[in-house]
Amino acid sequence: MRIEKIELIGFKSFSERTAFNLHPGITCIVGPNGCGKSNVVDAFRWALGEQSAKSLRSDKMEEVIFSGTSTKKPKGVAEVTLVVSGIGDPTQDNGDDPQNFTSVTRRLYRSGESEYMANKSVCRLKDIKDLFLDSGLEVKSYSILEQDRIAAVLNSKPQDRRFIIEEVAGVMKYKVRKTEAQNKLEVSRLNLQRINDIVTEVKRQINALDRQAKKAERYKKLSAEIRTIELKIAKRDYQTLRESLERILAEYTVLKENEAMKKAELTKVENISETNRLGIFEKEKALEIIQQEFRDAEKAIAETERVIAVLNTDRDNLKEYLAKLFAQREEFGTKEKELSEKLGELGGTDARLSGDMEGLKEELRLKNELIESVENELSEKESSVDSKRRNVFRASEELSALRNETGRMQVSLEALERKEVSLIKDAEDSKKFLNEINLSIRDAEGSLRDRNSEVLLLSEKKSVYTLEAASLKEKIEYLRDELSKTKEDLASNISRMGSLKELVLDAPTREILQDGTNLHIVSSLSDILNVEPEYERAVENALSEKINSFILKSLADIEIAISTLKSKGSGRMSFIPLDSRTFDELSDVPAGIIGRAVDFVKIDAEFAGVARNLLRNIFIVKDLRTAIALRESGNNYFFVTLNGEIVEPSGAVIGGEGRGVLKRKRELREIEELIGQKTDSISMLQEDINRLQHELSDKESGIRDIEAAVVNAEKEMSLSKFSSANYQEEKERTDRKLTYLSIEVEDIIREKESLKNMITEEEKTVNAGEAEKSAVEKDMAALLEEIIQKKMRYEEDRSHITDIRLSITAYKEKIEAVQKEIETTGNAMEELSQKDNSLNGEIKSVEERISQREAESGENEEKIKGMILNADRLRDDISVRKEALEQENQQMLSYEQAVKALRHEIDALTSKVSSLDVERAEHRLKIENLAENIRQNYGAEIDSIETEPILPEDEERLTELGAKIQELGPVNLGTLEEYEELTTRYEFLSKQQGDLNRSIAELEEAITKINSTTRKKLREAFEALKIKFSEVFISLFGGGRAELILTDENNILETGIDIIAQPPGKKLQNITLLSGGEKALTALSLLFASFLIKPTPLCILDEADAPLDDSNTGRFSRMLRELSSNIQFIVLTHNRVTMEASDYIYGITMEEPGVSKVISMQLAEA
């Protein structure tokens, strides 16, 4: 695997698209502090899925989006893309890329939305993490190292350092799989517990239904035989009714014929009568028409007189209007003359203003030509100034580089002088150190004897503590077993309680409870009744369906509840108002009963009235025979037996099993009490366990303290052994060092002389450059003064041009105003002309209307004379017609008397027909009812039943079968279907139970295998890392010793790691006492050792070399070169030695504040 490229868009200070093409080997990223180098490291970490804003040096995640500068707007999205090669399965499709590249992208929008993509396809964060799992390139791995993280390797707890072994061993995928398996195991165990509870309940229900199912099967066989006999009897009754119906139909037909003859005669007489009536009606209608004509004639005379009066008035009004029109025409002529004179004046003004504006435009053109020549001259001079400014800037850069080089030489000279002093001091210190070695050897041997005695005492103390801890563990384990059993019992009871609640609550009940906030539900009836177990079945069956009733505050709430059920179609329910009136109880109690039902119910005073109303007429008796005997003796009450059979006042007997609501409610209360007890037991057991665990913790803490003391003593023993062995080496090394220091001092003196000569030459070059720079700056100042004078004259001319343009604009506005007024005056004259033409037309129209009104008035006066003559003629005709109608009305009375007699005869016949009709309908209804009963009860059509002879024994057999069914009692035929459903469900649940048990066993086996594999890999990785760490430490320090120690040898899965380090020339000591550079080099030794065993694809070092001096940096760089053959390194550094070791260099700067930019990429020879 190798990182090919990283692209940043809008991430932190990288506002634009920035790409870093990464190559094998070492790539350095350099630049001044604050330029955004570390933002590249943050981009790697962010793209790999880092979720902590703090780890990205931010307070909140949206701060990684470019926030803008004074010249750049904020970005709305941050995006980082990593292009990786050699990842995943090369046979898989990775697009068109022949090198099997994979791109990983993360985006964050300012709205807070985030997305991850692999090969430009949206994916999950988990997919990204899985892609890099155990590759060494992960957020929490040590492939990204800054100073703080390097220091944390040594400063962290031993337990935290084990992450390095896990990285080397490559067991991260095993840890992830183990966690997933443990989560699945916990879920499977919970599911199994739930399944066990359900299987137990279903098995109990199957056992309860077994007897009822057999009873239902017996009932079906008896019912089939009853059906056969009843169908034969029904067919006989059907045929008898059909014969009787045919006789009634024959008599009915004769009566209907006689009735028809009489009705025909009645129709003939009625037709004659109706003909006469129509004649009278027509004559009355003609009379009405003539009378209407007479009334219309009178109205027409009155209307004509009114029209004449209106025409005369209209004529007089038109004459007055004509006089007004003549006066208005004279006024229009005067206005037209005034507008014509004004139009001439406006034309002269327009011509004068246009001439003045043309003169100003010519003056503006001349000024613009002058300005253009001045601009060209200024441009040439400013170009010359820019050229000289660049020369000055280039000279400044060269002088700055010379000064820097001189400063660097001076710093090197000072460093050499300090190094000379240091070397002389080291030689003196080495001589003193040799004298101390013999004393240290004696001290080490004495310390070794003391520590050996201390270890023996601590081992005895640890044995005592271990025995006490083992005893405490046994007690805790016993209590945990008890706690587990109690929790299992509690879970079983909770499950049973849930099942009982589901059985108690039907669909309508759940609907009402969901809307209960608006209904003022006080309680349910089954909740307020506390019945002795012996009488539960009797009371529940007596209340029947009312046992599931809800008690509401008022009748208004009951109306709302019923509306809710109707609107949702949820079925039926019963409701009881709490405020209903309470009835008095019966004073006389029949003999032979156990007692009143209400006497065996315990209930709160609040609900006493409800219970009395429901149970006041119900008595509990021993058995069904007693109940029937009491009812037959004349007692008009409800009797219920202990088995739940009911005898009603009507004589109806109801039997069978109830739903067991009260029993389940009692079980619910008992289970709730038991749950409370179990909960208390769990709390007490947990307290005992906590107390014992506290004691065990104290003992284990004591054991750990002893073990720590033993480890410390052993460490000190090891230190003493190391010291004794090393002191002789130190003596020999010190002798060699003194010889080396003498040679080094001579070399430094020669190098100092060479540097002093070079500094003198550089200072001469700087002075010459300063003189040349001053001359160029003087020429540039003269040119700038000339440009300033030109610009002043240029601005004066531009001001004059602006004044001319303002004058031209003012003239344009005046001309536009005059032209607009000319247009307005012309429009007014045209409008006035149109009005004059319209006025002449109106005058002509009025004169014509006056003549018309005078002619119409004369015509109407002639018309009214003819109307008066016509009205007199109509009055005479009306009188003659009224006399003729009176004679025809007398003839009509005789016909009506004949019709009345015929109708009386027809009514008598109709009465006889109706009687037969009723009898016929009754027979048909009996036939239909018989057929419908057969259809509903047996699903057969009576016509299709074959006629069979009825034997005398059939009647007796039918009675016998009825008695047998009665003996069976109430039968629930739905029990058969329910029994089959429960059996099927039990088999299904049993199969699931077996599957879960197998799944749990497989998961436990998988976890065991993962633990075994992990132990083996961790042990191998630790041994390899221990050896490599010692080798790399000696290489980086140029000597010394280092070792890794497990804090718990027996528990490789949980153990921590201790580090022992002894740099050359120092005593073996605690790593926290090392210097900053030594700590950094020790941590890098451990990390580089892990890379040698399991190379990471990429390692990013963010100023990791900052604490190192020159010599250590050199060894650090050489180690990087060795590792770079297998690992890509990206190094952020300020150190020149590290830069020299790199293959590629990227430079980052901030030309614009707040915006990072890659300004160069340099390829160096390796």
Per-residue pLDDT tens digits for 610-651 = 666 666 667 888 777 777 777 777 666 777 787 778 777 766
Of the candidate ranges 110-119, 241-250, 539-548, 1038-1047, the one whose mean pLDDT is the lowest: 539-548
Virtual torsion, Cα 926, 932, 937, 942, nearest 10 deg: 90
> Residues 1092, 1095, 1098, 1102: is their CA dihedral positive or negative?
negative
**How many whole angstroms separate alpha carbon 473 and alpha carbon 784?**
94
pLDDT band, residue 526 (cuts 50/70/90): low
Q: Which position has the higher pLDDT, 1068 or 197?
A: 197
Query: What pLDDT, on a 0 to 100 scale, did the predictor assign at position 79?
Result: 93
CATH superfamily for domain 1-135+1133-1166: P-loop containing nucleotide triphosphate hydrolases (3.40.50.300)
The secondary element (H helix, E strand) that includes residue 188 is: helix 172-504
Residue 622 DSSP symbol:
S
pLDDT confidence of 1154, banded at 50, 70, 90?
confident
The domains of the chain are located at: 1-135+1133-1166
pLDDT category at 581 given cuts 50, 70, 90 is low
| Alpha carbons 302 and 296: distance in angstroms, whole number | 10
Pairwise CA distance, residues 970 & 130, whole Å: 66
Structure confidence at residue 478 (pLDDT): 78
Residues in the chain: 1166
Span 952-968, pLDDT tens digits? 777 777 777 777 777 77
Could you tell me the two tokens for 139?
Answer: 């957020």
User: Is the predicted pLDDT of residue 90 greater than 60, yes or no?
Assistant: no
Residues 6+ away with beta carbon under 8 Å from 76: 10, 65, 109, 110
For residues 732-740, average pLDDT: 67
Which are the contacts of 64, defined by CB distance < 8 A and separation ≥ 6?
Answer: 11, 12, 42, 46, 53, 56, 58, 78, 108
Cβ neighbours for 865, distance < 8 A, ≥ 6 positions apart = none
Query: What average pLDDT score do residues 910-920 get?
Result: 76
pLDDT band at 520 (very low <50, low <70, confident <90, very high): low
Structure tokens at 855: 């002619």
- Residue 88 to residues 50, 142, 190: CA-CA distances in angstroms? 21, 22, 37
Checking if the pLDDT of 81 tops 90, the result is: yes
Q: How many CB atoms sit inside 10 A of residue 728's CB?
A: 11
Condensed to tens digits (0 to 9), the pLDDT of residues 502-519 reads 555 544 455 555 554 455
Q: For residues 405-421, give the mean pLDDT.
A: 73
Distances (CA, A) of 635 to 596, 628, 630, 631: 14, 10, 6, 5
Q: Is the pLDDT of residue 705 over 70?
A: yes
Q: How many CB atoms lie within 10 A of CB 397?
A: 10
pLDDT attached to residue 91: 34
Upper half-sphere CA count for residue 977 (Cβ side, 13 Å): 3
- Mean pLDDT, residues 766-771 taken together: 72
Residue 1166 has pLDDT above 60, yes or no: no
Instruction: Give pLDDT, residue 667.
Output: 67
Measure Cα distances from 947 to 231, 238, 952 in Å. Answer: 9, 10, 16
Ramachandran angles phi, psi of 1018, nearest 5°: -65, -40
The CA R_g of the chain, rounded to the nearest whole Å, is 60
Q: pLDDT at position 105, please?
A: 94
In the sheet that 521-524 helps form, which strands lie side by side, from edge to edge?
521-524, 550-552, 575-577
Q: Average pLDDT, stretch 893-913?
A: 77
Give the best-scoring range by mean pLDDT among 323-337, 338-352, 772-786, 1021-1035. Answer: 1021-1035
* Rounded percentage of the chain residues whose pLDDT exceeds 70: 79
d(CA 549, CA 575): 5
Number of alpha carbons in the 13 Å side-chain half-sphere of residue 694: 6
Position 93 scores a pLDDT of: 44
Q: What mean pLDDT do residues 1088-1114 have?
A: 82
617 three-class SS: coil
How far apart (Å, rounded) are the C-alpha atoms in residues 427 and 422?
9
Q: Are 1109 and 1077 in contact (CB under 8 A)?
A: yes
3-state DSSP call for residue 552? strand
What mean pLDDT do residues 1138-1163 have?
A: 79
Handedness of CA 399, 403, 404, 405 (dihedral sign): positive
Contact 1042, 1082 (CB under 8 A): yes
Contact 95, 119 (CB under 8 A): yes
Examine the pLDDT at 84 and tell me if it is beyond 80: yes
Q: Residue 1047: name the closest of 389, 157, 412, 380 by CA.
A: 157
| 1164 pLDDT more than 50 | no
Burial class (CB in 10 A: 0-12, 13-18, 19+), 418: exposed
Q: Please name the residue ranges forming H helices in 505-551.
A: 507-514, 525-528, 536-543
Contact yes or no for 5/22 (Cβ under 8 A): yes
pLDDT level of residue 143 (50, 70, 90 thresholds): confident
Q: In what order do the strands lie in the sheet with 1128-1132?
A: 144-146, 1098-1102, 1128-1132, 26-30, 1144-1152, 1155-1163
Exposed e or buried b for every residue in 1122-1151, given b needs 16+ CB within 10 A? ebbeebbbbbbbebebbbebbbbbbbbbbe
Considering only residues 590 and 14, tell me which one the structure prediction assigns the higher pLDDT: 14
Tell me which residue of 1005, 1027, 1023 sits closest to 1015, measured CA to CA.
Answer: 1023
Mean pLDDT over residues 1085-1110, rounded? Answer: 82
Please, which pLDDT band fits residue 1069 given cuts at 50, 70 and 90? low
Closest CA to 363 of 673, 764, 797: 797
Tokens representing 872? Answer: 């007199």
Whole-angstrom distance, CA of residue 729 vs CA of residue 737: 12
pLDDT digits (tens, 9 = 90+) for 468-488: 787 788 788 778 778 877 777
Find, among 329, 287, 374, the residue nearest to 875 by Cα: 287
Q: Are 38 and 1134 in contact (CB under 8 A)?
A: no
**Phi-psi category of residue 102: left, alpha or beta, with phi > 0 → left and psi -120 to 50 → alpha:** beta
Beta bridge partners of 647: 639, 653
Portion of the chain with pLDDT greater than 90, in percent:
1
Q: Taking the model in full, what pTM does it have?
A: 0.38
| More reliable by pLDDT, 814 or 30 | 30
pLDDT, average across residues 131-145: 68
Average pLDDT rounded to a whole number, residues 295-312: 78
- Look at 221-230, 764-773, 854-863 and tell me which has the smallest mean pLDDT: 764-773
Measure Cα distances from 734 to 436, 443, 702, 741 in Å. 12, 21, 45, 10
Cα→Cα distances 784→344, 793, 1009, 1011, Å: 61, 15, 85, 83
Tokens matching residue 196: 């066990």
Residue 972, helix vs strand vs coil: coil
SS3 label, residue 1121? helix
- What is the distance between the alpha carbons of residues 419 and 424, in angstroms, rounded to a whole number? 9
Query: Could you tell me if 1143 and 2 are in contact, meaning their C-beta atoms sit under 8 angstroms apart?
Result: no
**pLDDT, tens digit, for every residue of 994-1028?**
888 888 888 888 888 888 888 888 888 888 888 88
- Rounded to 5 degrees, what are φ and ψ at 302? -65, -40
pLDDT in the model for residue 677: 81
Closest CA to 726 of 1071, 431, 1036, 1063: 1063
How far is residue 334 from each of residues 842, 900, 1053, measured CA to CA in Å?
A: 20, 97, 120
What integer pLDDT is reported at residue 606 of this predicted model? 65
Nearest of 398, 394, 414, 1136 to residue 759 by alpha carbon: 414
Q: Show the beta-strand stretches assigned E in 608-655.
A: 618-621, 638-641, 646-647, 653-654
* CA–CA gap between residue 75 and residue 472 (Å, rounded): 63
pLDDT in tens, 539-571: 766 666 666 667 776 767 767 777 776 676 655
| Residue 639 φ then ψ, to 5° | -120, 135
Mean per-residue pLDDT of the chain: 75
> What CA–CA distances, in Å, run from 23 to 1087, 1105, 1137, 1141?
22, 21, 20, 15
Q: What is the mean pLDDT of residues 1135-1146?
A: 84
Contacts of 286 (CB under 8 A, 6+ apart): 881
